[in-house]
Structure 1
Amino acid sequence: MKKLSFVNKTIFITNSLVALLLLLSYLLPYVAPKNFAFLSVLSLAVPLLIILNGLFMLYWLLKAKKQLLLSGLVLLLGYSYVGSLYKFSSSKNIENGDDLSIMNYNVRLFNLYNWIDSDSVEQDIMNLIEKDNPDVICFQEYHPHERVNLSSYKYKYEKLSGNRIKYGQAIFSKYPIVNSGSVEFPNTANNAIFADIVKNNDTLRVYNVHLQSWRIDANVEDLKTEDSERLFNKAGETFKMQQEQAELFIAHKTQSPYKMIICGDFNNTAYSYVYKEIKGDLKDAFEEAGNGFGKTFNFKYFPVRIDFILVDDTFAVDSFKVYEEKLSDHYPIRAKINLN
């Protein structure tokens, strides 16, 4: 430290703070938001903390300074975190005609309020679905629309609410749905729905989970105008609600007589308490077969993965894909699963 210039000392102090925050974040999956709501907010910043520590390590490496060990050791301790952010291997893509193909997509009401300056969003989404042709689709923020034609899916289950505008969650399937239902969350329009689907001789339970949204504009320029204390309080309350919703969902999930697939928009990252609790012993399809950042939410400044497909640990994930089409504030994801 004594041999460092003033500029490098300042950089190392900043590096130390960022490394400490990342180290602290490793505790987040084990800390209930109800107990430490403020700390839970840190889960949203974990992707940025990983990237910053990687950049600090690279900086010190280029300078040939031993200070690279600080971020290097913190990243090494959290190697599974890095794997949840970025998959260095190429995408797994096994062709198997007996796979179940499942897509998850928060469609943001099919652009009902023109958030995207385009008159063709509904048709573009339909074109994407028709091209990929998944067997099952889980929609969040679904709104029945006259220009949305899903007639190729013979079976569906919708749970909609609202007076003037009906919206909610939906599951569409090419295979018979023999049972369905909803897990209601109090004081919100969010919920979790399920459909028991029969493929060949297998009955599978597909869950579609939409946890409480942040109620924060993700646009960085708008975030700058928010009062920081109000912002953190709002996020903390949201994470408390998410914990309560996750607990209701898990109580229902544990009663399932079938192997399951959980899709959804968790409105939280893979570094959060609710993700860990919901995932349990299931496999994360991105971690099994994806590559790159796996970014599922359109946040400009660093990659955020808050949409998931989790599958029973006896299933093999043969492929996973994140689509790059910007037709919502979320990107669609699709996994192909070998049930055998």
Structure 2
Amino acid sequence: MTLRMRVGQLIAFFFRSLLWSLNLLLALYTCLSYWLLYSLQTEHWLAGMLMISIPVVWFLNLVTVGLWLTTRPWRSWLSGIVLLIGIILFGSRTFVWHQPNELTTPGTRLKLFSYNVQAFGEQEYWERRQSSPRVRRILNYVLRYDAPIKCFQEFYNSTGVSDYDMVGRFEKAGYHYSAFLRPEAAHVASGDIGIAIFSIYPILDSGRELFDTHNGIVWANVKIGNDTIRIINVHLHSMGIRVGKVLKQKKIKGVQHETRGVLSALRTGFINRNEEVRKVEEYIQNSHYPVIVTGDHNDTPYSVVYERLRRLLPNSFEEAGRGFGFSYNRLPGFIRIDHQFHDPKLPVLNFETINYVKYSDHYPIVGTYLVK
């Protein structure tokens, strides 16, 4: 054996050993993330960082399996087992494929539409004055979509511009009942209502709780025939993910600055949402009626917020959705942060993420429930 061959073998051995060591660390990290999410032993923001990284470490484990299969196939078992455990524990949160359930028992089909409308583009002042075609399209879409109850986040209203007088337009469209996070903003020339519920069914009672400038809870007890259910519409603290800003930076210092900003926003978001979800739990537990929770939760299925709500109510996507259900229309794009949870007394017949409607930075979500 020549010296060159020996050197080549040593280099190959070094890189295989390095890869195996990294593989062991990756497997330990993945299992720790599983344990944190499954047990919720701690809700510290660092634990939250580990939990939301689960899809990323799944991808890394899959790559590792592929690498070992081409060199040392027997070593692929480690990441393979780790992936299998993740699919068993959390697979239904990631990908499902259900067919719509047919109505086989007596009851009323209730379609619940939820959409973060990004203030209908009102941040562009000239559009508010000129009512551009893009703005008119989203305004008309949310008005015409066929659903008796509609929930919105980042809802905007203006009595000074006819197209933006959405409260009045919903009233004319037959939605005579409503509940707002900021009711006073419904009757001014430029009103940031925030969270809104519109219903063609009578609202017997409602309430609201403001967390900060944009976030909060609005609930409404809705009478449907002889039954009453509670709709809880939430908008929790933003995730703070602005990947586009990081990618637009041309200098290392700019990338470092924006990355620090994203990490800081993530930390703040984890802390705030963990406090806010406890308020949501109170409104669920204090309700005398079956509950549906909908809205922009700003957290993925691998988070404290999702896990806590999932322990109280089944998730509608997991029970009746199709595909991955990604609901965020911006980079990174492969996350599901808009959710619906329902009382078992209100079985879900169908759930859809309308990912071809791209007027906002979120996609609309629609759940169809059976009110027995």
Give the match for residue 218 of structure 2: 193
Give the match for residue 154 of structure 1: 176
User: 1:125-274 maps to which residues of 2 (within 5 A)?
Assistant: 125-129=138-142, 132-145=145-158, 146-147=162-163, 148=166, 149-150=169-170, 151-152=172-173, 153-160=175-182, 165-185=191-211, 187-219=212-244, 220-221=246-247, 224-226=255-257, 228-229=259-260, 231-274=262-305
**Counterpart contact for 1:138–1:171, Cα < 8 Å:** yes
**Counterpart contact for 2:273–2:305, Cα < 8 Å:** yes
Give the match for residue 335 of structure 1: 367
Q: Which amino acid is the alignment partner of residue 84 of structure 1?
A: R
Moved more, 5-14 or 140-149: 5-14
Moved more, 123-132 or 2-11: 2-11
Match 2:358 to one of 321, 326, 329 = 326
Alpha-carbon separation, structure 1, partners of 2:110 and 2:42: 34
Give the match for residue 114 of structure 2: 104
Q: TM-score, normalised by structure 1?
A: 0.86
Moved more, 124-133 or 171-180: 124-133
Moved more, 122-131 or 317-326: 122-131
Please report how far the alpha carbon of residue 321 of structure 1 lies from its aligned counterpart in structure 2 after TM superposition. Answer: 0.7
Alpha-carbon separation, structure 2, partners of 1:137 and 1:229: 37
CA RMSD of aligned residues (A): 3.1
Q: TM-score, normalised by structure 2?
A: 0.79
Q: Which amino acid is the alignment partner of residue 156 of structure 1?
A: S
Q: 1:130 to 1:234 in 2, by over 3 A?
A: closer
Please report how far the alpha carbon of residue 229 of structure 1 lies from its aligned counterpart in structure 2 after TM superposition. Answer: 4.9
**Counterpart contact for 2:180–2:196, Cα < 8 Å:** yes
**Counterpart contact for 1:75–1:82, Cα < 8 Å:** no
**Counterpart contact for 2:48–2:270, Cα < 8 Å:** yes
User: 1:31-180 maps to which residues of 2 (within 5 A)?
Assistant: 31-33=41-43, 36-61=44-69, 65-78=73-86, 79-87=88-96, 89-94=97-102, 98-114=108-124, 119-129=132-142, 132-145=145-158, 146-147=162-163, 148=166, 149-150=169-170, 151-152=172-173, 153-160=175-182, 165-180=191-206
User: Residue deviations 1:246-300, cap 9 Å, x none?
Assistant: 1222223211111100001111111111222233331111000111111011243
The sequence identity of aligned pairs, in percent, is 30
Q: Which amino acid is the alignment partner of residue 225 of structure 2?
A: N
Alpha-carbon separation, structure 2, partners of 1:288 and 1:3: 50
Please report how far the alpha carbon of residue 337 of structure 1 lies from its aligned counterpart in structure 2 after TM superposition. Answer: 0.7
**Counterpart contact for 2:181–2:209, Cα < 8 Å:** no
Please report how far the alpha carbon of residue 323 of structure 1 lies from its aligned counterpart in structure 2 after TM superposition. Answer: 0.8
Please report how far the alpha carbon of residue 17 of structure 1 lies from its aligned counterpart in structure 2 after TM superposition. Answer: 4.2
Alpha-carbon separation, structure 1, partners of 2:274 and 2:330: 23
Alpha-carbon separation, structure 2, partners of 1:323 and 1:64: 44
Please report how far the alpha carbon of residue 182 of structure 1 lies from its aligned counterpart in structure 2 after TM superposition. Answer: 0.7
Please report how far the alpha carbon of residue 197 of structure 1 lies from its aligned counterpart in structure 2 after TM superposition. Answer: 0.6
Alpha-carbon separation, structure 1, partners of 2:21 and 2:265: 30
Q: Tell me, what secondary structure is at the counterpart of 2:91? A: helix
Q: Tell me, what secondary structure is at the counterpart of 1:57? A: helix
Alpha-carbon separation, structure 2, partners of 1:141 and 1:132: 18
Structure 1: segments with no counterpart, 5+ residues: none
- Paired residues, number: 334
Q: Tell me, what secondary structure is at the counterpart of 1:172? A: strand
Higher relative contact order, structure no. (Cα contacts within 8 Å, ≥ 6 residues apart) = 1
**Counterpart contact for 1:110–1:121, Cα < 8 Å:** no
Please report how far the alpha carbon of residue 143 of structure 1 lies from its aligned counterpart in structure 2 after TM superposition. Answer: 0.6
Please report how far the alpha carbon of residue 193 of structure 1 lies from its aligned counterpart in structure 2 after TM superposition. Answer: 0.7
Alpha-carbon separation, structure 2, partners of 1:67 and 1:99: 52
Q: 1:234 to 1:189 in 2, by over 3 A?
A: same
Give the match for residue 4 of structure 2: none
Q: 1:7 to 1:131 in 2, by over 3 A?
A: farther
**Counterpart contact for 1:104–1:137, Cα < 8 Å:** yes
Q: Tell me, what secondary structure is at the counterpart of 1:47? A: helix
Q: 1:62 to 1:211 in 2, by over 3 A?
A: same
**Counterpart contact for 2:153–2:235, Cα < 8 Å:** yes
Structure 2: segments with no counterpart, 5+ residues: 1-9, 250-254
Q: Tell me, what secondary structure is at the counterpart of 1:232? A: helix
